[in-house]
Structure 1
Amino acid sequence: MDYQRIATALLEAEKSGVPIEPLTKQNPNLTAEDAYQIQLAQVALKVMKGAKVVGKKIGLTSAVMQEMFQVNEPDYGHLLDDMMYVDGDTLPLDSFIEPKLESEIAFVLKQDLRGPGITAVDVAAATDYVVPAFELIDSRIVDWNIKFADTVADNGSSARAILGGQPTPLAAVDLAHIGMNVWKNGRQIDTAAGAAVMGNPLQAVVWLANALGNFGISLNAGEIVLSGALAKAVPVQEGDVFSASFAHIGSVSVSFTKEEMS
């Protein structure tokens, strides 16, 4: 299978805003292993053009999403420096195809983590702090018509990350019981708790470190890890303003507009 060709097609779809047919339709025998190789090829192409890997995102952390994709584990993607935004930023929608927003808890690491064999104790020791975050997901596959291998190859359907809140050490919070409220255009649309992510977001990072170890990849000091959505992904439209408030660790907000024509 030509990983490079498929990676290039996904990157072109991202750049042009024109999605492609499902990879699993074009390649019925596409495996999860193939999909991760395509993802790595995409990342390598972006790095070659000057981008820098600054972290990872974890997806499919809830039982309902795993059931939907008929898998029994999450997936992951790479975060690059040009994907990162901060609390209060405005993002241009012209850059995306059919974006949706997820509310998450982000970990920032102070030590490397390299699987296999990583435990929750290891992750806690390696974490500098946590902050609230949004992940903007988008699919370069037409109409979000995706299976597990499609989203993996498409860098976990990741597009942007927005970090907010105040840096909070893990020792100061109980991640499983952190409550969250989400607002869209001033109206509350969802609530959830940290336990929605694999019982505890810490366990999602444990899974990630060990999964990456299978590819000889480590999580490095200074990297950001989006640990998975606490609630459902919400479609984004022009003019939308979102905010999410997390008990003990602060809030994050983002707004969306059409890019001005020059």
Structure 2
Amino acid sequence: MTAKTYNFAEKLAEAESTRIGIEPLTEINPQITINEAYSIQLENIHRKVNNGEKVIGKKIGLTSKAMQELLGVDEPDYGHLLNSMVIENNGEISCTRRLQPKVEAEIAFILKKDLKGPNVTAEDVIAATDYIMPALEIVDSRIKNWQIQLADTIADNASSGLYVLGGTPTKVEEVDLELMGMALYKNGEIANTGAGAAALGNPAICVAWLANKLFEYDITLKEGEVILSGALSAAIEAISGDVFLAKFAQIGVVSVRFVD
């Protein structure tokens, strides 16, 4: 890691600690590369692990064509999930833990065996999945006002924050991932809807992409890991007092409340 990328890791870590957003890294250094951005992400993950946190999964971002077009990219990105990010179903999130949170509804895959690229297919993902669950991901950005380009969000652990698992653990073979419908409610009113096909056509394709992408960094998806496979609809801003609930066909309901 170069001195400049190390400095970027420091800036992001400080922004998370102080809850004061920073200028986009891509404005400070327009030449920052994707590999450098992933190095920054890994530096801060290593710091957290060294401080006692544990990597328990991965998240996939930018799985919708709309978001890819917005950032001018043609593939998703990924971040790490830590044990400190877990919120219980129907639990509460203090707004003091986040800078500028938004909520997305996703399908979570829990693995029963390792997945290692480079040639992982959606069928391999299904065979390696123990069960799936409905999830809410609370995305966040340490970049001011969400003014992000691809390298910004990658360096910032794919704009990750917290996540909630709910519903009923369900065998993936028992559902149609592509057609699975989802409705996301905010304060009792429907905010948006989506289906599994919104995530690259099939959430299992997203997980396969992740396993193959991680091969480039000699990383394997491990048995027992939670994989958040990508948002099924747009992210919704959250403030204190908001209650979010997502209903998924066949696999149940997940909810969370934001408090002061």
Task: Give yes or no for TM over 0.5.
Answer: yes
Correspondence for 1:136: 138
Q: How many residues align?
A: 258
Q: Aligned partners of 2:192 and 2:226: how far apart in 1?
A: 25
Amino acid at match of 1:196: A
Q: Does 1:100 align with 2:93?
A: no
Correspondence for 1:168: 170
Alignment partner of 1:64: what SS? helix
Correspondence for 1:187: 189
Correspondence for 1:46: 48
Q: Does 1:221 align with 2:223?
A: yes
Correspondence for 1:123: 125
Unaligned runs of at least 5 residues, structure 2: none
Q: Can you list the C-alpha shifts for 1:129-163, whole angstroms capped at 9, x where unaligned?
A: 00000000111011111100000000000000111
Identity %: 52
What are the residue-to-residue correspondences of 1:47-62 with 2, within 5 Å? 47-62=49-64
Q: Aligned partners of 2:243 and 2:103: how far apart in 1?
A: 11
Shift of 1:86: 2.1
Amino acid at match of 1:131: M
Q: Aligned partners of 2:202 and 2:154: how far apart in 1?
A: 23
Q: Aligned partners of 1:66 and 1:25: how far apart in 2?
A: 20
Q: Aligned partners of 1:8 and 1:111: how far apart in 2?
A: 35
Task: Select which of 144, 157, 168 maps to 1:155.
Answer: 157
Shift of 1:90: 0.3
Q: Aligned partners of 1:120 and 1:193: how far apart in 2?
A: 17
Shift of 1:191: 1.2
Shift of 1:95: 1.1
Q: Aligned partners of 2:21 and 2:114: how far apart in 1?
A: 36
Length-normalised TM-score, structure 1? 0.97
Shift of 1:186: 0.8
Correspondence for 2:245: 243
Q: Does 1:257 align with 2:256?
A: no
Q: Aligned partners of 1:193 and 1:144: how far apart in 2?
A: 25
